[in-house]
Structures are given as C-alpha cells and as structure tokens.
Amino acid sequence: MDEARFVTHLSGKRIVLGVTGSIAAYKAVSVLRTLRCAGASVSVVMTKAATKFVTPLTFEVLSGERVVTDLFDAHEPMAHLMIPERADVMLVAPATANFLARAALGLADDVLTTMLLSVRCPIIVAPAMDGDMWTHPSVVQHVQTLRSRGVVVLDPEVGPLASGQIAQGRLSEEPKIVAAVDSVLASRCDWQNEVVLVSAGPTQESIDPVRFLSNRSSGKMGYAIAAAAKARGAEVILVSGPSSLSLEPGITTVRVNTAAEMADALCRHFSTCTVLIMAAAVSDFRPKQSFVQKVKKQGKTDMVLELEATPDILAMLSARRTSQIMVGFAAETEHMVSHATDKLNAKGLDLIVANDVTQTGGGFGSDDNAAIILSARGEQRDLGLMSKRRLADEILTAVHELCRVRPCQKVSVE
C-alpha cells in the first residue's frame, strides 16, 4: 500500500489502538506497523481475550510503548485516563461482538471500555466476527447505537471466515482501516490554514549573574496549546520562556529569557501569524539595573531593589494587528471575571482565558486548569477543572467559532 499517502495526517499523531479477542487480532499487528511507518505514535490496549491470540510483547516491540492490558496495572495506575487524554484518534481493530455490546452499553469492566468513556477524540471500530453474529439483531442494534454517538464503524467485509463460512464478518482490509484513521484525522485538521504564534512559560529578569525575578509558571498551558494546534494542522511557532518541558517535533520554537527578548521574538513573527495566543506569564517588572557581578551582602540587613515596568507585549502587538485573532490569559487570584474583562478590553483582545491560579488542582505547575473563556462579544464559558491539553482544544475551538464570524486569513508578508 502507498504509505506516503497517509503521511500528511498521520505523522506526529497519537493513536490508541484497542485490540480485542478475535482471531483477526494478528492483523492489528500489521495495522500498527503501517501507522508507525506513517509517523504516528501508537499506544496499544488489549483485552484479556486478545492476549490469547497475540502476545502483548509483539505490540510492545512494534509500538515502542508499554502495552496496557490491565485496569489495575501498578505501573500505569491512571492509564485509562492518561492515554486517551493525549489521543488524536482511538481505533479498535478487531472489535468483537462482545466489545461492541459493552461499548454500546457504556460498561467499564476493563481498561479498554473504561478508556472509551473518558476519550474525547474520534473513535473508529473495525468489527470482526462470524457472519451470523454480525447480522444478529443484538449486534445490529449495538452498532446503530455506536454510530448514533458518532463512532465510525467500518462494516466488515464479505469473505471466508474462521468458521469456514463465507459471509460478512471479515475484518476490513488494512488499507481501508488506515484510510479511515487518516480521513478522521483529516477532518480534525480544522487549523490547517492557520499560523499560530504561542507564548509560554515565565520570563526571568536578571538581578545579577546568580539571581533573577520570575514567577511560578511551568509553561504547561502554552506547550499544550502549541501541541493541540499542531495536532489540528496548524503551523505553530512557540516562543518559550525558561521551561523544563520537552519540545514537540514539528513546532518552531524560539527560546527566550526576558520579557524584552519575548517581545522581540513575538514582534518578529507577529506579522505572519493568523492567531496569537499569549499564554506566557510575562514578568511585569524587572530590576532597573542588572548587576554584572554578584551583589554582595556586605553586612547589610535590608536592601531596596528598584524595579521598572516591562513592555506589555499584548498591548503592544494589539496596536500593530492587521487581521490577527488575539487571545490572552488572565492569571487571577480574585474577581476573575471582572479583572479578566478589564484586560480583554484594555489589551484589545478577541478572547481571554481567565484562570484562578490559587485553585487546588489547577494553576501554575499543575497538569490541570479551571478556566473561564470570555469573548469581546460578551460570551462567557465556564469550563471547570480539566487537563491543560483538553483546555487547549477548548480554546482552539472557541477561537475557531470566532474565526467563522471573522475568517482568519494568512497575512501576506511584504
């Protein structure tokens, strides 16, 4: 098959491959290889019955990742939540009649069905079973239920089955399965025409060679937005303050330290972006003087550090905007909505994401965030506590709703 055909949408994507207990389980090995060859990362999840047909080791070697088979695996205690969280698509191939029933009923009696309930990305299932089972009213009804919920169910093919019968029940051919994954991913590439400029992390303002002023930002929110925009097809430029997070392939990253450096980097790229998302926690003040040598104590009991304001990067870029959509963040400890609304108006933004940085389970350094999205048109969406990756997708979706009203255009460079 022509693997190159799939490079556009599969490359860099994260796929969860569920394998259930059918004789066709061996074909999932080949599906896995093709997905990997096309540049996707694949996390394999097997039901107990699937492991009777193919060993997890086979999938482990070919995927390069631990295979999840047990909801109670001590090594992956939250796998049922963590793995689907990062997935761009979930594929179950082969899917047995038993799996279809459990999925349709919303049972969560193993790791795979539990994942189905937490996953937010598109789901594709490729059933395989005996012909009489496929046409049984119970299976027909479960397939209908799944389709009505938006699950893509690939009809099995007609051909010789394990029972010797020739009927409809054979797992779809591998190119068909891979093409379905590709096409679902293509339809999710709703950011393909955007150039997104994202800022992330804190800035550090030097006092002397060993000390600086900074804040508690980890960069997780900005990095999650960059990754989500990339996964949805955008060209992404990330301007990152100091952060220990690893960079995603395919994202142009500019590393900076100070607010002034961040302002320079963003100004350089602003004219070519269609959307700016300013998730960085820029220091508002910097020392008026940065000492070349370490400041010594010299018996002092107190010390006054004179500070000056850094440039307000968002306000500066807002004054230069042409057709860019501009999104800011508001890190608040009280009066979230009113403070965020003031910033939205003062900085001339289209959207602002207000978050309470004091909330338990969210805020700086955490993997989660509770946010309210406010728009210049007066809309307000309270999103509650969710992972930063999920919030990133919510923000991108909100931006796109705006773009539908005022279409984003790539800005031409003179």
Q: What are the residues whose beta carbons fall under 8 Å from the beta carbon of 294, sequence distance 6 or more?
A: 208, 209, 210
- For ligand CTP, which residue of 329, 363, 374, 388 counts as binding (CB under 6 A)? 329
Of the candidates 279, 338, 342, 285, which has an alpha carbon nearest to the alpha carbon of residue 314?
A: 279
Any bridge partners for residue 158, and if so which? 168
Cβ atoms of 369 and 251 within 8 Å: the answer is: no
The minimum distance between CB 143 and ligand CTP, in angstroms, equals: 46
Q: How many CB atoms lie within 10 A of CB 152?
A: 17
- Using the contact rule CB under 6 A, the part of the chain among 119-127, 206-214, 311-319, 359-367 near ligand CTP is 311-319
- For ligand CTP, which residue of 331, 370, 372, 373 counts as binding (CB under 6 A)? 331
Residue with Cβ nearer ligand CTP (46 or 391): 391
The minimum distance between CB 401 and ligand CTP, in angstroms, equals: 20
Based on the residue annotation, tell me whether 345 is a catalytic residue of this protein: no
Residue of 98, 215, 257, 345 marked catalytic: 215
Cβ atoms of 305 and 291 within 8 Å: the answer is: no
Of the candidates 211, 372, 198, which has an alpha carbon nearest to the alpha carbon of residue 293?
A: 211
Which H or E element spans position 97?
A: helix 97-105
373 scored as a contact of ligand CTP (CB under 6 A): no
CA distance 170 to 157: 5
Residue with Cβ nearer ligand CTP (178 or 313): 313
Cis peptide before 94 (omega within 30 of 0): yes
CA distance 271 to 284: 24
- Using the contact rule CB under 6 A, the part of the chain among 11-19, 174-182, 183-191, 329-337 near ligand CTP is 329-337
- For ligand CTP, which residue of 93, 171, 275, 280 counts as binding (CB under 6 A)? 280
Q: Applying CB under 6 A, what is the total number of residues that bind ligand CTP?
A: 14
Residues 215-254: x/- map of binding to ligand CTP (CB under 6 A)? ----------------------------------------
Catalytic center residues = 215
Q: Which residues bind ligand CTP (CB under 6 A)?
A: 259, 278, 280, 282, 284, 310, 312-314, 328-331, 343
